Structure 1
Amino acid sequence: MEKFLVHYKDMNVPDKIGEYLKEHMKGRTAIVCIGTDKCIIDCLGPLTGTFLLEKNISADVYGTLTDPVHALNIHRIVKLIDKKKYDTVIALDACFTSSKKIGAIEIASGSIFPGKAIGKNLPKVGDISIIGVMEEVEIDFKLLMNIVRLSFVYEMAQILSSGIVLAEEKVKKNKLA
């Protein structure tokens, strides 16, 4: 699987995400939306998970605004997902980095290591990773909580959820054809 990289403000991003993901979503799918609703910069996952449920996605969604997947419960969620033996596990999280452009969305083969940028040692999650670049890691994390706008996170979450739903629809359509 080649990495897919796009800026959230580019044209037709949900279509591009849907087209890319449809090739990699196989069988029973879980989507793990990592983060917390207690911090705007880290609510990309739960907000995306909430939007996915509102759009009636048939994949199992873990991580919403009312039931987030975060550092305190991620071990339990990973065990639950492993027990259910999904064919595809997509992990989605906000990312803080200096090497990528703010607003970038990256999809790649492999797991996400949640909390890595802020020094947490949490279990890896997923077969496919989706990250949304929120801000640069060089900025003090306490400052990060106050400089990222909810509208930015909200818009990226809408785009990600639309792209994932489109991918699922394309997979279903291909099965019927």
Structure 2
Amino acid sequence: MNLMNRFVPKNEKVQLLHTDPDLNKKMSNRIISWISGNHRELVVVCIGTDRSTGDALGPFTGSFLEEKQPRNFHTYGTLQDPVHATNLKNYIKLINLQHNNPFIIAVDASLGKTESVGNIIGDTGSLRPGAALNKDLPEIGDIHITGVVNISGFMEYAVLQSTRLSLVVEMAKSIAGLLCEVDKQLTSKRMFTAPIKEENYRLKLNK
């Protein structure tokens, strides 16, 4: 057990720059502490659309993660089959039908202060996709990971559209790498013994 786990409450959020060399170690330890001890199916839902640069963080993360073929996660939301505002409610129904009481890790882009851009934030509880754009969407996630892709406070839709793709891709790679580290630790600890099915359940709705 490292010092962070000893002295920081495990339910406290963790926030690190996506280029921080200790990102995988520190944040994976925290995520493991949040899901440790439960044997529910693990589902990663990466939210966003490839039609907006800033909002493509989720689909890029899902695609990068799916390429790694994690053993302990079912992945929803990729560039090919995104989970976004139009089909989110249907995906939530599908996930609950396909998985018995799943433990959901939600991944989404967010806007924040200038000094927070490029940061990855992990926290407990659900998130509200589209909140920055005043969209009324259902909450999702037992825990969530967000990436601050740009600044908030003015013309959020335009800000998302003008976000640099290079930053989004690099952050998505970091989040996917983080989740792969979590998957590796789960596998080594044999926390989950039920094999992940080969099938990928997707809805191809309103891409």
Normalising by structure 2, what TM-score? 0.79
Pick aligned residue for 1:42 from 55, 65, 89: 55
1:80 and 2:90 matched: no
Alpha-carbon contact 2:24-2:178 (below 8 Å) kept: yes
Between the aligned partners of 2:115 and 2:155, the Cα distance in structure 1 is 17
Question: For the Cα contact (< 8 Å) 2:111–2:152, is it kept in 1?
Answer: yes
Q: Which residue of 2 aligns with 1:69?
A: 83
CA spacing shift, 1:37–1:13, aligned 2, 3 Å: same
- Among 170, 178, 182, the residue aligned to 1:163: 178
Which stretches of structure 1, 4 residues or longer, exceed 4 Å deviation after superposition?
none
Higher mean displacement: 98-107 or 125-134? 98-107
Q: Is the counterpart of residue 55 in structure 1 residue 68 in structure 2?
A: yes
Deviation (angstroms), 1:175: 1.9
In the other structure, the counterpart of 2:202 is none
Unaligned runs of 5+ in 2: 1-10, 192-207
Name the counterpart of 2:158: 143
Alpha-carbon distance in 2 for matches of 1:162, 1:145: 23
TM-aligned CA deviation for residue 136 of structure 1: 1.6
Aligned match of 2:7: none
Q: Does 1:10 align with 2:20?
A: yes
Q: Is the CA contact 2:104–2:143 (under 8 Å) kept in the aligned structure 1? A: yes
Relative contact order, CA 8 A, sep 6+: which one is greater?
1
Larger Rg: 2
Residue 150 of structure 2 contacts residue 160 of structure 2 at CA under 8 Å; is this kept in 1? no
Distance 1:172 1:136 in 2: 37
Aligned length: 176
Task: Give the % identical residues.
Answer: 34
**1:15 partner SS:** helix
Q: TM-score, normalised by structure 1?
A: 0.92
**Residue 142 of structure 1, CA deviation:** 4.2
RMSD: 1.7
Q: Could you say what secondary structure the match of 1:35 adopts?
A: coil
Q: Which sections of structure 1, spanning at least 5 residues, go unmatched?
A: none
Q: How far did 1:86 drift?
A: 4.0
| CA drift at 1:103 | 1.1
Partner SS state of residue 116, structure 2: coil
